[in-house]
Amino acid sequence: MDDYRKANRAHWNELTPIHARSEFYGVEGFKAGKSTLMPLEREELGDVAGKSLLHLQCHFGLDTLSWARLGARVTGFDFSDEAIALARSLSQELDIPATFVCSDLYDLPAALSGQFDVVFTSYGVLCWLPDLRRWAEIAASYVKPGGVFYIVEFHPFSYVFDDSRDATDLRVAYSYFRGPEPDRWEPAGTYAEPGAQVTHPSYEWTHSLGDILSSLVAAGLRIEHLHEFPYTCYQALPLLERSPDGWWRLKGGRELIPLMFSLKARR
């Protein structure tokens, strides 16, 4: 397991400078004042002014700092030391108060103490976690009594389809259910820069929606809502096109499958 985690850390250390200069992340726009948060999470979480917020798996911190601009007292963590170094640099450069912690998620309790009004995580985080039950226990442990856990994430059902660039229909290519070993992905660009030169492979784990819900409930969180959406925030499948509202949907406006979900829970 440590070998998989080390490989993934090397992968994300390599991706960080690629993402930082990509149009996808829009760092210069962020520096000019643009928020990287989507309307969905802002609406569903509501006013965060004056609240303490922990951002799990924050990459290089643009969403974390966007929450800070809305008045939250933010802490972000990620296992990539390159990403955390960049997040700290942006915080200092832009004079946005934030704390950033570099740690593997499963080691986080030894690196970070305290509890928070909001524990937030989003978009492409769960597939990097081999032990979902332990993730949920750690996440729940940081939620204050009466506080909120919130996740917005790609729907696990959307991962079963062929996502190759020449795919022409919704063809099932991958299992919805977890296998005995993670999937190994050979270096082939990145979602932010498909043509980028990447050298490190990565390893991902499959988690069904049932696995996710069961883990959070077992960790003592009370589910307030589970919303499923026929759209997503980027072109995860070649059959998606961007609609006028900014979301990516199946071509022709078809609402056939869930592409994303959000979940809010309290402790």
CB atoms within 10 A of CB 118: 23
Mean pLDDT by 10 residues, the chain (267 residues): 92 98 97 98 98 98 98 98 98 98 97 98 98 98 98 98 92 95 93 94 97 98 98 95 95 93 97
3-state percent helix, strand, coil for the chain, nearest multiple of 5: 35, 25, 40
Nearest to 163 by CA among 232, 238, 234, 231: 238
Q: What is the pLDDT of residue 253?
A: 84
Question: Domain with 6 in it: what CATH number?
Answer: 3.40.50.150
Question: From CA 135, how far away is CA 212, in angstroms rounded?
Answer: 10
The burial class, CB within 10 Å (0-12 / 13-18 / 19+), for 155 is middle
> What's residue 185's pLDDT?
95
8 Å CB contact between 105 and 57: yes
- Cβ 98 vs Cβ 68: under 8 Å: yes
Q: Using the Cα atoms of residue 62, residue 68, residue 69 and residue 72 in order, give the sign of their dihedral.
A: positive
Q: What is the per-residue pLDDT for 211?
A: 97
Q: Which domain holds residue 55?
A: 2-266
Q: What's residue 1's pLDDT?
A: 63
SS3 (DSSP) at 165: coil
CB burial of residue 74 (10 Å; 0-12, 13-18, 19+): buried
| Predicted model pTM | 0.97
Instruction: Write phi, then psi, for 225 (nearest 5 degrees).
Output: -155, 150
Number of domains in the chain: 1
Check residue 57 and give left, alpha or beta (phi > 0: left; psi -120 to 50: alpha). left
Query: Using CA atoms in the order 167, 172, 173, 179, what is the torsion angle rounded to 10 degrees?
Result: 160
Predicted pLDDT of residue 165: 85
Q: How far apart are CA 264 and CA 191, in angstroms?
A: 27
